[in-house]
Amino acid sequence: MKLIKKLALIVLILSAYPLVAQENAFQVEIIGNGEPVLLFPGFTCTGEVWKDVVNELSKTNECHVFTFAGFGKVAPIGKPWLPKIKERIEAYISSKNLKNVTIIGHSLGGTLALWLASEDKSKLKKIIVVDALPSIGALMMPNFNSDNISYDNPYSNQILQMNAKDFEKMANQFASGMSLNKKKQATIKKWIIEADRETYVHGYTDLLKLDLREDISRITTSVSILAATQPYGKENVKVNFEKQYKNLKDYIIKYADDSAHFIMYDQPEWFLNTIKAELD
């Protein structure tokens, strides 16, 4: 009887203090030696997107290649997805005592790099932003107000409920517009389809809500921006980029002609040479 009472007491105590599972916000592959370069992929992409770049940069740098939770084979985490990733990257840099860190970020990864640099906790050496903006929401929505963005909205709910066939059709449309390289469109589509559906929906909501247009004024790190000119045309792209980055102090924008969003696929030689020049 005493044993039963003790067990009941233990169960009661445990029910009051639920177990908290350790969440891993990303997977990292480390390749090469030298000053550290952190490579952040875009939304739904895995670290494989950096393969050709890492093959070259790892000869002179220690490359930390990230794949974020919910993408590829990395298990998803709960909301809020993007703030958790940002906080754990800061912890990662600190725990590994990384110094003179350069971040190269594509799309979501570039916006994330701007967010980290705006707070400068890690004293970054440089960031290279690949076709990314401080506020994707402001680009897509007139009179944008981040306070109006929520997880529970008709579009998100529609995507969550979408069947596999319709989701694949949507993924195919997105992939065909993000690269001019038809062979790589299949890879981009595959990443979208393989993404955890809730991460795809709620993670993108986190990105839409993030507005760094004012915060980038605090960035003291040198910023290089590589911008794709397709499908909207160079002049339209210049207007949008210069408008969004106007509060950034030290930056340069280089435009990738005849390239859509995945510059590393559409203009691989120009892309790699430009990255290497920025790191010299």
pLDDT in tens, 192-249: 999 999 999 999 999 999 999 999 999 999 999 999 999 889 999 999 999 999 999 9
Omega into 36 within 30° of 0, i.e. cis? Answer: no
What SS3 state is found at 140?
Answer: helix
pLDDT in tens, 90-138: 999 999 999 999 999 999 999 999 999 999 877 899 999 999 999 999 9
Mean pLDDT confidence for 133-151: 90
What angle separates helix 108-119 from helix 81-95, to the nearest 10 degrees? 60
Record the tokens describing residue 253, joined without a space: 């924008």
**What are φ and ψ of residue 66, in 5° steps?**
-95, 145
pLDDT in tens, 152-183: 999 999 999 999 999 999 999 999 999 999 99
Determine the pLDDT at residue 143: 85
Is pTM, for the whole model, over 0.85? yes
* Residue position matching structure tokens 């703030």: 83
Question: What mean pLDDT, rounded, does the chain reach?
Answer: 91
Determine the pLDDT at residue 100: 95
Mean pLDDT confidence for 144-150: 88
Per-residue pLDDT band for 15 (boundaries 50, 70, 90) equals very low
What SS3 state is found at 189?
Answer: helix
Residue 39 has pLDDT above 70, yes or no: yes
* Residue position matching structure tokens 């350790």: 22
Whole-number Å distance between alpha carbons of 42 and 52: 16
Record the tokens describing residue 15, joined without a space: 């029910």
Residue 141 has pLDDT above 90, yes or no: no
How big is the chain by its Cα radius of gyration, in Å?
21
Residue 65 has pLDDT above 70, yes or no: yes
Q: Is 104 exposed, middle or buried (0-12, 13-18, 19+ CB in 10 A)?
A: buried
H-helix or E-strand containing 40?
strand 35-40
Determine the pLDDT at residue 4: 39
Residue 74 has pLDDT above 70, yes or no: yes
Determine the pLDDT at residue 16: 33
